[in-house]
Structure 1
Amino acid sequence: MSLQEIFATRANRMKASEIRELLKLLDQPDIISFAGGIPDPDLFPKTAFQDAFAEALNGPMAAQGLQYSTSEGHKPLRVWIAAQMQAIGIPATPDNILITSGSQQALDYLGKLFLSPGDTALVGWPTYLGALGAFNAYEPRYDKLDPLSNRSGADYTAAAKEAGGAAKFAYLSVDFANPTGATVSRAARERVIDLAEEMDIAVIEDAAYQSLRFDGDAIPPILALEAERRNGDLEACRTIYCGSFSKTLSPGLRVGWVCAAMPVISQLVLMKQAADLHSATLNQIAVASVAEQHFDSHIDTIRSAYRARRDAMLEALQAHMPDGVSWTKPEGGMFIWVTLPDTLDGADLLKQSLESERVAFVPGHAFFADGSGRNTLRLSYSTSTEGKIAEGVERLGQLITRALNG
């Protein structure tokens, strides 16, 4: 007997993450890796966390930190997050916040909450690979979300109905998106709200990189723009905001959050209870302590470091990429998106690059729901020094030049 024969049909939709596999290359010291979209561990606030965990384990909260807790999450942490939401125009209370095991768990819960097999999720082309992985288990159909196109909500709705389901939500990463590094304009954010109202669907706003702005003026989150339309009534909003400490304080502690109207939070709490009861209490206590005391100064530190690395990568791309190659110029975050001539395949190029140049990156096709985008790739500058960035991009530019010249 093979148990695979009785797996649920959804198991066929689950695929290994190409990025997770590439992260194994980080253990090879001669590889220059632009692959993992991960924070630089040298920038983690280690001392602050050492102090926070020591206090949590030895102070008056020691018993609480090691005990079961509420599914909603540690109250002081939710209070701090609600204040942060208010500071960016989202009128949240702690009751509008659910703590999750990273924003990845939030995406999984939201897929489970909204998607029946055959329903449609509107996503970017390309979009965050982790979102596709989270939603895939619920057997959706994907449609291309292009807010500033001439396509109407009725067109999206009709296409979803013809495919045998209903459109349920629009998902988008709004600031310095993974994988492109692009930021959704205010006009496009407003248009997403219009489309959602016309179609009567939810909006899932992935704001994992919101704090990592280097240049330009901040744009209000979609949830803030919608709340403004609703006269400050968050309970009347259909946008669901997903935040995370993974790109700012620590990914390993797995602390993220959802900010939404109470009916959504209440349903997600039931899912949390059924899945893992609650996120790790001790981790939440430590994150709350570090956030309260160090968040702003730490953000200044990592912004400065990542800005210098972004600038180094943009300079190297300009110096070493041949004609016909283009790339985004992000105002923050961790990524640059490179578009190659149509004759090149990013996956093939990666194989050659690992063999001859010892440079790793992520082929772009993994970020497209239909597997297109073969001539694209994602570069991350977050974990490399400026010198390594210059060297790695030069090697990659030489490889692409050779490939184009046959």
Structure 2
Amino acid sequence: MAQAAMVETASRDGLDWPTLFATRSARMKASEIRELLKLLDQPDVISFAGGIPDPALFPADAFSAALTRALTGPGRGAALQYSVSEGYRPLREWLVGRMASLGVACSIDNIMITSGSQQALDYLGKLFLTRGDTALVGWPTYLGALQAFNAYEPTFDRLDPFANRSTDDYRATAAAAGGSVKYAYVSGDFANPTGETLDRTARGRVLDLAESLDIAVIEDAAYQSLRYDGEEIEPILALDIARHGSIEAARTIYCGSFSKTLAPGLRVGWVVAARPVIAKLVLMKQAADLHSATLNQMAIHTVASDGFSAQVDTIRGVYRGRRDHMLSALSRHMPEGVSWTRPDGGMFVWVTLPEGIDGAALLARSLETARVAFVPGRAFFADGSGANTIRLSFSCASEAMIEEGIARLGKVVRQQL
């Protein structure tokens, strides 16, 4: 009887799962952006929330042909078979050429394919961070990076290439938190969320700081191809190689992605780094998922080989027009006291509201009264600051939607003044 009662109680109450979770699981938080993406399914909401590519611009016909070729051509068995953890060799060879065009001389042994650059960030957090170590990040910075690194229980410190701050101060701050500084995370081109770009001087200062601290630099280049104005700037990895003579002597780890240029749903990204780093990442890949989907890599390789430059030219033209329209609409509809960035590329405009206006509260009001969505800025700050900031994305909004949405949002902001 007692045993039957115990079984009944366990069945009714279930296992107390939280008592079994690792302590680091408490640091895992839901992404505000992922939740906001659900609003895209509501037809009456004008959304500037999701920083995602416009699906109308995907080269769908090219992918259809590439997938058919992969599944019916001479190598069709390989498309459905297990493969090496480093990634599909022809794609890595294509990337050697792509990186060379950016000033990065490397071999296929310096490249590993990942399931999007997000997986690369997770692996790099796992590789470098021991509990209590410090990661230097922007203020604000990419929310997905904070989430990826946060699982490995680091402390975050502010990365500012022009701060008048000594190496000893960085080290002392890290030691007080129980560890040491391990890397600086940088998105140099049209960063998410601000849309801002680091010029050559700032990139050099990042390298100077990394050298003085003897740490790695993680370069997130997800938006590197999406330049609409201004002069191309070499990746930090290219500047690092120029300083030290070869990629094997460089401390920078470059994370690239096809998500913003070809298709995010296939989840194909890559890492470029010195061979000792790649060797460790390959071991992680083997343990995590063996390898990225071969079929997806083959399709990406075919489409990239046949028309990467043409695809980039197409999306640049469309997104440039949408950016211009959003900047124009902001200038016409936002009240005095509101400021915003003017990005040379990417997908985002970063808006700073007058002190006292909370972005999260503004979002709630905007959705209720104006049916306009955006991302509150606080989520992009490691310390939870930045309450009076918001991120607007223009990539998936037509010019008519931008005009109407910014006009509505301007009225909501005025009501909060």
Q: TM-score range by the shorter chain?
A: over 0.9
**From 363, 374, 383, the counterpart of 1:361:** 374
Amino acid in structure 2 at the alignment position of 1:130: G
Amino acid in structure 1 at the alignment position of 2:367: L
Separation in 2, partners of 1:287, 1:378? 30
Q: Secondary structure at the match of 2:130?
A: coil
Match of 1:38 in 2: 52
1:169 aligns with 2:180: no
Match of 2:309 in 1: 296
Q: Secondary structure at the match of 1:63?
A: helix
Q: Is the 8 A contact 1:152 1:195 kept in 2?
A: no
Match of 1:337 in 2: 350
1:53 aligns with 2:67: yes
Match of 2:256 in 1: 243
1:127 aligns with 2:141: yes
Q: Secondary structure at the match of 1:249?
A: coil
Match of 1:212 in 2: 226
Match of 2:204 in 1: 190
Q: Secondary structure at the match of 1:251?
A: coil
Match of 2:17 in 1: 3
- RMSD of aligned C-alpha atoms? 0.6
1:203 aligns with 2:207: no
Separation in 1, partners of 2:101, 2:253? 17
Structure 1 unaligned runs (5+)? none
Q: Secondary structure at the match of 1:91?
A: coil
Q: Secondary structure at the match of 1:205?
A: strand
1:152, distance to aligned residue in structure 2 (A): 2.3
Separation in 2, partners of 1:150, 1:239? 23
TM-score, with length taken from structure 1: 0.99
Amino acid in structure 2 at the alignment position of 1:399: V
Separation in 1, partners of 2:412, 2:32? 21
Deviations 1:134-164 (A, max 9, x none): 0010000000000111112222111101211
Q: How many residues align?
A: 403
Q: Is the 8 A contact 1:171 1:203 kept in 2?
A: yes
Match of 1:373 in 2: 386
1:280 aligns with 2:269: no
Separation in 1, partners of 2:260, 2:339? 26
Deviations 1:63-87 (A, max 9, x none): 0000000000000000111111111
Amino acid in structure 2 at the alignment position of 1:317: L
Amino acid in structure 2 at the alignment position of 1:112: K
**From 99, 106, 111, the counterpart of 2:113:** 99
Match of 1:110 in 2: 124
Separation in 2, partners of 1:153, 1:74? 41
Highest Rg: 1 or 2? 2
Match of 1:66 in 2: 80
Amino acid in structure 2 at the alignment position of 1:374: A
Amino acid in structure 2 at the alignment position of 1:81: L
Separation in 2, partners of 1:193, 1:46? 40
Moved over 3 A (4+): none
Q: Secondary structure at the match of 2:292?
A: coil
Alignment of 1:249-328 (within 5 A): 249-328=262-341
Match of 2:103 in 1: 89
Separation in 1, partners of 2:288, 2:307? 31
Q: Share of identical aligned residues, percent?
A: 67
Deviations 1:209-253 (A, max 9, x none): 00000000011111000100012x100011000000000000000
